[in-house]
Structure 1
Amino acid sequence: MIEAVGLSKHYGKTVAVDDLSFTVRSGRVTGFLGPNGAGKSTTMRMILGLDAPTAGTVRIDGKRYRELHQPLRTVGALLDAKWVHPNRSARAHLHWLARSNKISTSRVDEVLEIVGLTGVANRRAGGFSLGMSQRLGIAAALLGDPQVLLFDEPVNGLDPEGILWIRRFMHRLADEGRTVFVSSHLLSEMALTAQELVVIGRGKLIAQCSTDEFVAQATESTVTVRSPQADLLGSALRDQGGAVRAENGHLVVSGVDITEIGELAAAKGIVLHELSPQRGSLEEAFIQLTGDSVEYHAAVGDQTAAAASGADLMTAGK
């Protein structure tokens, strides 16, 4: 478990993190989201003892990072995939890390196999692509078989197969009871990966809840209805207090739940071809709830395009 209490970080007059408190539980994949400049990377650095908090505390399984004996056995992290001496091979880099924490060197070959780098283990890391570097960084995070794992933008540079692999791998780690904390600006991927969310903006906590709760509180749930008697059904739904609009040959209904729609159609003998619930996306919810915390806005003419592609265009908070 990771627990931050009143965590703050100031750089002169600049406040990067502001009285931030949250808990990352074990057995779940927790996504760490926020607009550019939100303070995510600074927070992760404070968790790992790389930056000292101005105020507050952050503990990993009840201890500060500097209090951990052989820390790679407790927490593994990927913050910068290119943090490897370019002239070292992947195997040599992992051997060096293993010796520093008294980890058996046999574990090196195990993690190389896990991340799919066995075939290039003796190549210089400086010649690796970004995707290969990400896999090496994940291998380093796994080296001590830790219970707590932090990943900052782990899918950058990965191809679709690699993205699917890391998603399933994180779920497997969480299913084993580990704490998995991951930041990403790819919100469509986070919607598939994270069960819980910690969302921050301008260094402050915006929300901590399940992914489903976050989407539900910020977006409108609707029901898609297709019927050859759409006009009759639409009129009946409006009489029930529902909001109805026609869209591409079907009705989009809000304010009336799906059960009521089905019962109303049955009572009036209206044929239904489709009755399906729809919910907003994580991108829509993110934009809705973090709009006041965005440090850099697109020009007015670009906002429609930005909204269409969602918050995937936003870079992660650094």
Structure 2
Amino acid sequence: MVVTAIVGETGRMIEVKGLTKRFGATVAVDDLSFKVEPGQVTGFLGPNGAGKSTTMRMILGLDRPTAGVALVDGKPYQQLERPLHIVGALLDAKWVHPNRSARSHLRWLAASNDLPDSRVEEVLRLVGLAETADKKAGGFSLGMSQRLGLAAALLGDPEILLFDEPVNGLDPEGILWIRRFMQRLAAEGRTVLVSSHLLSEMAQTADHLIVIGRGKLIADTSTADFIERASESTVRVRSPQLDQLRSLLTSKGMTVREDGSERLTPDGRPVDPVPALTVLGETSDAVGELAGANGITLYELAPQRASLEEAFMRLTGGAVQYHGGGVDQAMGGAL
């Protein structure tokens, strides 16, 4: 089945204006403003306790803001008529009565928005649950529950979609499937907002990033610009004349450090017998031209780029609320 959408010239979007949410003395979301535009996958990132899930819940009218507004297609969610036709969401994959089958759960949702049973069968096939649709949801694996949640989000063929940790519990094949699925939805002109703690996956999925920390906006930019902004410009260089190259580079005022990385074959043997240097704050053109002008042979000349994980940790390090679990916890869930 091909999912289609009718999208106006400007498309439907999510808009958050001055959104604030307090739980007693705790400020979960602090004067947050951003827009989620149609036609691209927007990743929603933040350290543990950043307020991502709380923000999504306010967008969907599940939590009342202390201040500010969250608009879906220009209106608060509560004012939408037949909301499943406008916005679909997956926040909690296990929010299904355990004794209800996938098919009966979707039929119940469809009836609430005057959707035909034929649409239930379409989304079951779309997410790969057609053969298990009559099994009780309580016996589903987390991955199957995620697929059922996706089916529910797609029931009304909405133009706006929100996914909170949609790849949680999926195997690599399932992760690849949902990545391509979300990208296809965005390519059709839909508005797609997705949060995830799997940053390597978000680097391959999201075109745009909204990053928050302690409830405040840290970045609202393209994925490529976010990584570039946090990246240190470095060049890795290998040469059989490494001592001569090191002396030359430092004599020109360049900062050089030993590259301790080691490349191994699948059976664990080194494949990089020639030592390497990392040149900080320079381009590969500058290093290559200097080496060439001085007759130094190079085996490798490669600009280095930070990963999304490295960029994320560099820009959000001061906004991590809970440090006890180390890096994994810092990249974990949300308040």
> In which range does the TM-score fall when normalised by the shorter chain?
over 0.9
Matches for 1:239-318 after TM superposition, within 5 Å: 239-248=251-260, 249-298=275-324, 306=326, 310-311=327-328, 314-318=331-335
1:104 maps onto 2:116 in alignment: yes
Distance 2:199 2:182 in 1: 16
User: Quick check: 1:241–1:255 contact (8 Å CA) kept in 2?
Assistant: no
Task: Give the counterpart letter for 2:63 in structure 1.
Answer: D
- Aligned residue for 1:150, secondary structure, equals strand
- Given candidates 173, 191, 201, the residue that maps to 1:189 is 201
Matched with 1:118 is 130
Alpha carbons of 1:311 and 1:253: their partners in 2 closer, same or farther (altered >3 Å)? farther
Identity %: 67
Aligned residue in 1 for 2:165: 153
CA contact (8 A) 2:320 2:330 kept: no
Asked whether the equivalents of residues 241 and 256 of structure 1 are also in contact (C-alpha less than 8 Å), the reply is: no
3-state SS of 2:217 partner: strand
Task: Name 1:60's counterpart in structure 2.
Answer: 72
**What per-residue deviation string (whole Å, max 9, x for no partner) do you get for residues 121-169 of structure 1?**
1111111011100010011111111111100011111111111111111
Whole-Å Cα distance in 2 between the matches of residues 186 and 18 of structure 1? 24
SS of alignment partner, residue 3 of structure 1 = strand
Q: 2:87 aligns with which of 55, 62, 75?
A: 75
2: CA distance between counterparts of 1:176 and 1:40?
26
1:13 Cα deviation (Å)?
Answer: 2.3
Cα contact 2:47–2:330 (8 A) shared by 1: no
For the Cα contact (< 8 Å) 1:286–1:311, is it kept in 2?
no
> Higher mean Cα deviation, 134-143 or 98-107?
98-107
Q: Name whichever of 128-137 and 232-241 sits farther off.
A: 232-241
What is the alpha-carbon distance in structure 2 between the residues aligned to residue 263 and residue 174 of structure 1?
43
Residues of 1 paired with 2:280 and 2:187: CA distance?
36
Pair 1:35-2:47 in alignment: yes
Query: What per-residue deviation string (whole Å, max 9, x for no partner) do you get for residues 78-132 of structure 1?
Result: 0000011111111111111111112222121111111111110111111101110
| 2:154 aligned residue (135, 142, 152) | 142
Partners of 1:26 and 1:237 lie apart in 2 by 47
**SS at 1:262 equivalent:** helix
Shift of 1:232: 2.1
TM-score (norm 1): 0.93
Distance 1:313 1:166 in 2: 24
Output the aligned Cα RMSD: 1.6
1:311 Cα deviation after fit: 4.6
User: What amino acid sits opposite 1:314 in the alignment?
Assistant: M
Provide the residue aligned with 2:9 in structure 1: none
- Structure number having the greater helix percentage: 1
Unaligned 5+ runs, structure 2? 1-12, 261-274
Q: Which amino acid aligns with 2:60?
A: L
Preserved CA contact (<8 Å) 1:33 1:200: yes
Q: What is the SS of the residue equivalent to 1:146?
A: coil
1:221 is the counterpart of 2:233: yes
Structure 2 residue identity aligned to 1:32: F
Aligned residues: 309
**Deviation string, structure 1 residues 237-256 (Cα, Å, up to 9, x no partner):** 22333221222421111222
Aligned to 1:233: 245
1:217, CA displacement in angstroms?
2.0
1:242 & 1:65 partners in 2: Cα distance?
A: 56
